[in-house]
Amino acid sequence: MKRIITLTVQDRSGVLNRVTGLLQRRQFNIESISVGRTETEGISKMTLVVEVEDEQRLEQVTKQLNKQIDVLKVSDITEKAIVVRELALIKVASSSQLRTEIHGIIDPFRADIIDVSKDSLAVQITGKPEKIDALIELLRPFGIKEIARTGLTAFLRGYQPQVNDFATYSLSK
Amino acid sequence: MKVEAKLEFQTSTVPKTGADLLIDLLINEGVETLFGYPGGAVLPIYDAIYRARGRIQHVLFRHEQGMIHAAEGYARIKGKPGVVIATSGPGATNLVTGITDAMMDSLPLVVFTGQVARSVIGTDAFQEADVMAITTPITKHNYQVQSIADLPRIVKEAFHIASTGRPGPVLVDIPKDISAGNLTEDPKEAVIDLPGYQPTIKPNPFQIKKLADSLSKAKKPVILAGAGVLHAKASAELTAFAEKHKIPVVTTLLGLGTFPADSPHALGMGGMHGTYAANMALYESDLLINLGARFDDRLTGNLKHFAPHAKVAHIDIDPAEIGKNVPTQIPIVGDAKEALLQLSEETAAMDDLEHQAWLEKLEQYKQEYPLWFKHDPNGMCPQWLIQAIHKVTNGEAIVATDVGQHQMWTAQFYTFNKPHRWITSGGLGTMGFGFPAAIGAQMAAPESTVVAIVGDGGFQMTLQELSVIYERNLPVKIIIVNNGALGMVRQWQELMYGNRISESILHTQPDFVKLAESYSIRGYKIDNQEDLIAKLPEIFAYNGPVLVDCRVLQQEKVFPMIAPGKGLHEMIGVKPV
């Protein structure tokens, strides 16, 4: 099962290496990982998407991550009400004639064209991974030259519903 | 948590360097002994050690592996971190075995490695190795010092992390320009600031209540005592608790001595070469209380058959150990001593637990299936040899072993009644561990009798440290259980690989007596029981190092045994074969 795990870590050298090394050693497959600074100086946040076999393995991975000295907090937020975003840059083959057509495709996705050259253009899109997947599929017929994705970043919504009145985000579909 | 510590610096006529500061910090931590080997990248540190002579002792080993195992033995007996210094590159990589060993067996070490100067890190400079990357998976934590000003904090944190919670090795990598760099001002205090490191010491009272409640209902309770009891110094509490409620106790290999082996409630060691009573107690139990053991596969055997009828309570200071291998119904995170104290309070009113039938059954197992060996008039039985050493040392010696047959025979036949007498490489199973570990133990306990019981294979991996016991006149007694083979490998080849004895016979041996003599150490070669009985008192009465090459029966095997993949109830060789 796919899980989204966030880690609050101290911003010290080697901490990313510690986390990924630990996961590799214990044979967890990391699907995506994103790291960045937070509102607090010296504190960074990592968002991991990992494939885990079962609850017991999941518990083990969170405990092992928690054991790291530089790790302040580990949360499995998969089942929570969360905001999830990923950014992708997509370079599409395009001539000047196709530009309007592509624009018409990306507009409903609230994506932007951020670079144009003679035979290609670059699209920037932010959103849930499925939305990005959907746009990539639509752009594929034009010829995709390059894709760069950031991996997920996520946090809890400001309001956590007490009852199940809010659709949770699911990666497993 | 934050801890502030005042530092007092010795004034010195030479300009103070990062290395001088480091030595001051170590002295401030109460470090008396450094286990080290010099080299290019630590020359500034060795210069500082020279200037600090008289204030701190440095012991020069002959190989980095030897010195780190010595530091482990020292830590085991002293109960505080062993401190190691090695140079960059090969010095550091030679420590890898010992660091991993300490990690697996939760021994506190603070390891300092030299590193090339910051200006050339990453250029494949002479004697450069990426020690941080190499040691990240085998240390509890590691640091590379980036500024002299960070040294007080890092040293303080390193000792704190190594010796608290679940102990373990912490490595501090020091670039040469840091140790050689001049101090611009004296840092006056170090502040530990580790918000991500807060070991749980006091267990959750609700969980303790749950365990007490389960205990009151259990018909077949058993305690499994591991090395966590040693680290918590909780042997007295364990003994009092088990004896009050008449709960039988199984110890792990590393837990030997946590509970007196001669107590009527002691079942001995569990696991692959454990006693029948211990393994059947684990197998048949309805309440298994794991106290500071990590359910290693050598203990559990096939997990499918491990304690199949038991409710499992697991007390461990490391939450990641709970539920790792064995599903646990009552998880208790905390220090073994705190847990036992709370549990004793909670169960104080329980006088008669109803498990008399269980005790009688286990007693019957103990009587019917004791550990055994057959005397052979034509040679020396290794098991008998261990018993003879027990006798001559009154069971009071500190005993260190390597890994293999001699290790198991010692675990089986040197009856450990007290904690902190037994030093062995449990988790990693390191050949070459025993002899240097005994050196460290002797340094930690100069008045104690220290015996290194080693195999002829393992001893040849670290025997160069004979220099150290001669140089320091450490009265370590080295007993080589010499069967001319890598005995445990051969045993497995005989039993599980169709008797195909592949590369496990040591066809040539050095003359160990001459070897000892070449290091100016007394050597004996003994190949029969009468000689051993005659010589042992003399060997142990002598106040200096002695090496004894004991030629034992070659074909002797370690029994009983659980074959790989089998459960605890499927032991072989329980009865004399």
Find the catalytic residue in B1, B126, B517, B554.
B126
State the DSSP code for A41: T
State the DSSP code for B320: G
| Residue numbers in B near A41 (CB within 8 A) | none
Window 142-161 of B: residues touching A by CB (8 A cutoff) are 142, 144, 146, 161
φ, ψ of residue B427 in degrees (nearest 5): -70, -50
| Residue numbers in B near A72 (CB within 8 A) | 195-196
The string of DSSP codes covering B125-156 is: -TT---HHHHHGGGSSEEEE---GGGHHHHHH
Q: What percent of chain B has a predicted confidence (pLDDT) above 90?
A: 93
Pick B320's closest partner by Cβ from A14, A64, A70: A64
Nearest to B251 by CA among B417, B483, B490, B476: B417
Asked if B323 is an interface residue toward chain A (Cβ–Cβ < 8 A), one would say yes
Is B127 considered catalytic here?
A: yes
* pLDDT (mean) for B388-402: 97
Interacting residues of A110 by C-beta distance below 8 A, sequence separation 6+: A125, A126, A127
Inter-chain contacts counted by CB atoms under 8 A, chains A and B: 42
Asked if B118 is an interface residue toward chain A (Cβ–Cβ < 8 A), one would say no
What is the spatial distance between Cα A22 and Cα A65, in angstroms, rounded to a whole number? Answer: 8
Query: What is the model's pLDDT at position B368?
Result: 97
Q: pLDDT at residue B373 above 50?
A: yes
Is B412 considered catalytic here?
A: no
Does B320 contact A72 at a Cβ distance shorter than 8 Å?
Answer: no
B355-371 tens-digit pLDDT: 999 999 999 999 999 99
Asked if B273 is an interface residue toward chain A (Cβ–Cβ < 8 A), one would say no
* pLDDT (mean) for B372-384: 92
Cα of A70 to nearest chain B Cα, Å: 6
Which of A16, A69, A71 is the mutation pick for testing B, counting most B CBs within 10 A?
A69
Does B140 contact A22 at a Cβ distance shorter than 8 Å?
Answer: no
Q: pLDDT at residue B493 above 50?
A: yes
Asked if B320 is an interface residue toward chain A (Cβ–Cβ < 8 A), one would say yes
Is B72 considered catalytic here?
A: no
Find the catalytic residue in B9, B32, B57, B127.
B127
Task: Read off the pLDDT band of B150 (50, 70, 90).
Answer: very high
φ, ψ of residue A82 in degrees (nearest 5): -135, 160
B432-465 tens-digit pLDDT: 999 999 999 999 999 999 999 999 999 999 999 9
Window 486-515 of B: residues touching A by CB (8 A cutoff) are none
Is B176 considered catalytic here?
A: yes
Asked if A26 is an interface residue toward chain B (Cβ–Cβ < 8 A), one would say no
What is the spatial distance between Cα B276 and Cα B182, in angstroms, rounded to a whole number? Answer: 63
| Residue numbers in A near B144 (CB within 8 A) | 13-14
Query: What is the model's pLDDT at position A173?
Result: 45
Please name the residue of chain A whose CA is at the shortest distance from the CA of residue B141.
A69
Pick A72's closest partner by Cβ from B136, B144, B196: B196
* pLDDT (mean) for B242-265: 97
Question: Which of A26-35, A124-133, B171-180, B221-230 is least confident?
Answer: A26-35
Task: Read off the pLDDT band of A64 (50, 70, 90).
Answer: very high
**ipTM of the predicted structure?**
0.88
Task: Read off the pLDDT band of B410 (50, 70, 90).
Answer: very high
B530-546 tens-digit pLDDT: 999 999 999 999 999 99
Q: Give yes or no for a contact between B163 and B108, defined as CB atoms under 8 angstroms apart.
A: yes
Please name the residue of chain B whose CA is at the shortest distance from the CA of residue A11.
B196
Q: pLDDT at residue B421 above 90?
A: yes
**Distance, C-alpha A89 to centroid of its chain:** 13
What is the spatial distance between Cα B265 and Cα B564, in angstroms, rounded to a whole number? Answer: 28
Q: pLDDT at residue B267 above 80?
A: yes
Does A70 contact B196 at a Cβ distance shorter than 8 Å?
Answer: yes
Window 59-118 of A: residues touching B by CB (8 A cutoff) are 59-60, 63-64, 66-72
Does B140 contact A60 at a Cβ distance shorter than 8 Å?
Answer: no
Which of B100, B135, B136, B146 is the mutation pick for testing A, counting most A CBs within 10 A?
B136
Is B241 considered catalytic here?
A: no
Q: Give yes or no for a contact between A124 and A146, defined as CB atoms under 8 angstroms apart.
A: no
Structure tokens given for B457: 């294979």
Q: What is the mean pLDDT of chain B?
A: 95
Torsion sign over Cα B170, B174, B179, B185: negative
Question: A144-149 and A82-93 as β-strands: parallel, antiparallel, unpaired?
Answer: antiparallel
Asked if A43 is an interface residue toward chain B (Cβ–Cβ < 8 A), one would say no
Cα of A17 to nearest chain B Cα, Å: 8
* pLDDT (mean) for B213-234: 97
- Map residue B288 onto helix, strand or coil: strand
Q: What is the mean pLDDT of chain A?
A: 91
pTM (2 d.p.): 0.94
Query: What is the model's pLDDT at position B10?
Result: 54
Q: pLDDT at residue B188 above 80?
A: no
- Map residue B67 onto helix, strand or coil: helix
| Residue numbers in B near A67 (CB within 8 A) | 318-320
Task: Read off the pLDDT band of B189 (50, 70, 90).
Answer: confident
B537-577 tens-digit pLDDT: 999 999 999 999 999 999 999 999 999 999 999 999 999 97
Query: What is the model's pLDDT at position B378?
Result: 84
Nearest to A171 by CA among A148, A150, A151, A144: A151
Cα of A19 to nearest chain B Cα, Å: 10
Q: Which strands, in side-by-side order, build the sheet including A43-51? A: A29-37, A43-51, A2-10, A71-76
Residue A51: which H helix or E strand, with range? strand A43-51
Place of tokens 């080295």: B478
Residue B224 half-sphere exposure, CB side, CA atoms within 13 Å?
33
Does A60 contact B323 at a Cβ distance shorter than 8 Å?
Answer: yes
Question: B141-144 and B2-6 as β-strands: parallel, antiparallel, unpaired?
Answer: unpaired
Task: Read off the pLDDT band of B1 (50, 70, 90).
Answer: very low
Structure tokens given for B153: 């904090």
Window 167-206 of B: residues touching A by CB (8 A cutoff) are 194-197
The string of DSSP codes covering B526-556 is: E-SHHHHHHHHHHHHHSSS-EEEEEE--TT-
* pLDDT (mean) for B239-268: 97
Q: pLDDT at residue B339 above 70?
A: yes
